[in-house]
Chains A and B, each alone.
Chain A
Amino acid sequence: MAIEFKPSPSLPPPSDSVGPVAWVRANFFSSPLNIALTLFSIYVLYLMIPPVLQWGLLDATWEGSSKAACTAGGACWAFIGAYFEQFMYGLYPETEYWRINLALILLIVLVGMFAIKAVNKLFLSIAIIVVYPIVAFILFSGGMFGLETVETSNWGGLFLTTLLGVVGIVASFPLGVLLALGRRSNMPIVKSVCVVFIETIRAVPLITILFMASVMIPLFLPEGLNFNKLLRVLIGITLFSAAYMAEVIRGGLQAIPKGQYEAADAMGLTYWQSMCLVILPQALKLVIPGIVNTFIGLFKDTTLVYIVGMFDLLGRIQAANHDANWLGTTIEGYAFAGFVYWIICFGMSRYSMAVERKLDTGHKRK
């Protein structure tokens, strides 16, 4: 008779390899070099943190109407307070701030509704992609439904930064997908058009494109035909970002095994069905880090519109620095700008990581 095989029971790992103490030991004190690095880092932090806290919090002045009020020797945050509304809304009329706020709340509510199961996702997407931009445009520029007209030259501050960033991101993403698919197409004309477009745009700095958009395009257009500078700049940013996006997405397309394309083909799916249902969902998920990288880069690149005479958040801060009442507040201004950009970009990064985790169906061993 054969001997019966009984698998041995699974035992818990040894207690000195789990828990916080083991974690600290493994990550900070695992070798003489690591011990030295840990102690050195603690010393550097000890040197740096107290002076920053002293300047930024303990000795800071929070209220006042000019630089003269800041006598404590620390940061002069009163400057930010005095100009806060301009930093947020630019030269938008004060009585109309509610329009921007309403548009922002509307967007947050609409996006938040994705979390509710009962809502039809298709209708919601259409509402966000088609209906919302129209509503937001009417709210921002006015001239309809009794709303006062606000020229786009008065749009500015964080409002303009967000507008450029969001429109750039939303418009460049689908364009980037199409360019990436086009570049891998078997059709020679489609392929060459996409290659030429991508390579041309990527070879030119964004500043050049913005200059072209704001200065040169009006020269080429016939007399009388002219369109808004903001719109031209938006198109420039979108095209620029789409070229980068296309290459990121192409990387994802190339990473999908040939077998996935073949399986989709063998089922009789059409080209667009196989791309939209099989290939792109996998390819885009793979390159989420690269896509978010491009988004964050685009968001920060919007500061370059300062060069063509538009005052976004950074532009507004730099303009305020020239106020005779607040001379010498450059550091506070840039610290504030850095803080706002950091919050937004860090938020995008964390959000993308959450999306990645949610979409992970690979079930690899971690």
Chain B
Amino acid sequence: MTDNNMALAQLEPGEEAIIEFSDVNKWYGDFHVLKNINFSIRKGERIVVCGPSGSGKSTMTRCINRLEEHQKGSILVDGIEMNDNLKNIEAIRKDVGMVFQHFNLFPHLTILENLTLAPIWVRKMPKKEAEEMAMHYLERVKIANQAGKYPGQLSGGQQQRVAIARGLCMKPRIMLFDEPTSALDPEMIKEVLDVMVQLADEGMTMVCVTHEMGFAKTVADRVVFMDAGEIVEANTPHEFFENPQHDRTQLFLSQILNH
């Protein structure tokens, strides 16, 4: 990483980090999947993480809510260190929403029940209140008329919008997106991206693994490029796309932009 990019990965003194990776290393068996990740994310910042498959971008994102465990280094989320302390993990997970590539809605529950499950059981919210809030978020993702249906009756794009609404129902401080549009038909990608852009405009802290470079250009505060378990380059979208520093980044961009 060049000095210029190093500065962009770290924060200025006095700035408050909401997520902080310090020397994070992770192995799957012998495979070194994350190598010395040092990265800080400010409150309200929108980060887009891109890179070839197997580069560790999903793994890094999933370390933030400890769906994956790291073996070395430390990850601070909202000032709390992610370690084996189950209470800490559960506390963080309440405040970190996550949207998955394959939606992962609960197929045995209706859309409304999918949304109210966590508020009722984790936030101990009364059922009626939870349902009102769920309907509010369903309206925001323009899908309120489907509240009584089951996930299996909805299209992929609709399911992903429900998944985003489900994440928002916990009123999270951070939203993680793990390739939210990769499993969608081309015609449905836009409806999901529109919801994400709207969310970004409201100042939500977002970490988004995606190959949608248009989304990265319009929404991201910083774009992070990873390869072989390392952060190769992190920069503002303008600098990242117009003036990539690293030859690996240039190759990646030339392959995905000129096909």
Contact = CB atoms under 8 A, between A and B. Distances in A.
B235 interface: no
A14 interface: no
Contacts of B104: 257, 259-260, 262-263
B118 A361 contact: no
Contacts of A359: 108
Contact of A277 (B100, B102, B121, B152): B121
A63 interface: no
Contacts of B130: none
Interface in B81-100: 90-91, 93-94, 96-98, 100
A268 B122 contact: yes
A189 to B, nearest CB: 17
Contact of A266 (B98, B102, B106, B108): B98
Q: Which 10 A-B pairs have the closest CB atoms?
A: A263-B104, A268-B93, A259-B104, A267-B118, A268-B94, A266-B98, A363-B152, A361-B150, A268-B122, A281-B108
A270 B123 CA distance: 12
A269 B122 CA distance: 6
A273 B121 CA distance: 8
A191 interface: no
17 contacts: A259-B100, A260-B104, A263-B98, A263-B104, A263-B105, A265-B67, A268-B91, A268-B93, A270-B90, A273-B121, A277-B121, A282-B107, A359-B108, A362-B150, A363-B150, A363-B152, A363-B153
Nearest to A364: B152
Nearest to B119: A267
B65 interface: yes
B100 A262 contact: yes
Contact of A361 (B65, B98, B100, B108): B108
Interface in A236-270: 257, 259-260, 262-270
B90 to A, nearest CB: 5
A285 interface: yes
Contact of B152 (A259, A267, A362): A362
B135 interface: no
B107 A362 contact: yes
A80 interface: no
Interface of B: 65, 67, 90-91, 93-94, 96-98, 100, 102, 104-108, 117-118, 121-122, 150, 152-153, 166, 170
A103 interface: no
A266 B121 contact: no
Given A259-B100, A259-B102, A266 B152 contact: no
A107 interface: no
B93 A260 contact: no
Given A268-B122, A362-B107, 11 more contacts: A262-B100, A265-B65, A265-B93, A266-B98, A268-B91, A268-B118, A273-B121, A273-B122, A285-B108, A361-B108, A364-B152
Contact of B106 (A273, A278, A364): A278
A285 B118 CA distance: 22
Contacts of A269: 117-118, 121-122
A285 B91 CA distance: 31
A266 B107 contact: no
A276 to B, nearest CB: 10
B108 A282 contact: yes
B138 to A, nearest CB: 17
- Size category of the A interface is 20 to 34
- Main SS at interface, chain A: helix
A266 B77 CA distance: 14
Contacts of B98: 263, 266
Interface of A: 257, 259-260, 262-270, 273, 277-278, 281-282, 285, 359, 361-364
Contact of A263 (B106, B150, B153, B170): B106
A285 B117 CA distance: 19
Contacts of A267: 93, 117-118, 122, 166, 170
Given A265-B93, A267-B122, A277 B117 contact: yes
A269 B120 CA distance: 10
A355 to B, nearest CB: 13
Contacts of B96: 266
A364 B55 CA distance: 36
B151 to A, nearest CB: 8
A28 B94 CA distance: 59
A281 B105 CA distance: 14
A260 to B, nearest CB: 6
Nearest to A363: B152
A277 B117 CA distance: 8
Contacts of A266: 65, 67, 93, 96-98
B170 A268 contact: yes
Contacts of B90: 268, 270
A56 B67 CA distance: 66
B68 to A, nearest CB: 10
B113 to A, nearest CB: 10
A312 to B, nearest CB: 38
Contacts of A361: 107-108, 150, 152
Contacts of B100: 259, 262-263
Nearest to A262: B67
Contacts of B91: 268
Nearest to B101: A259
Contacts of A264: 106
Contacts of A268: 90-91, 93-94, 118, 122, 170
A290 B233 CA distance: 53
A270 B91 CA distance: 11
A269 B119 CA distance: 10
Contacts of B118: 267-269
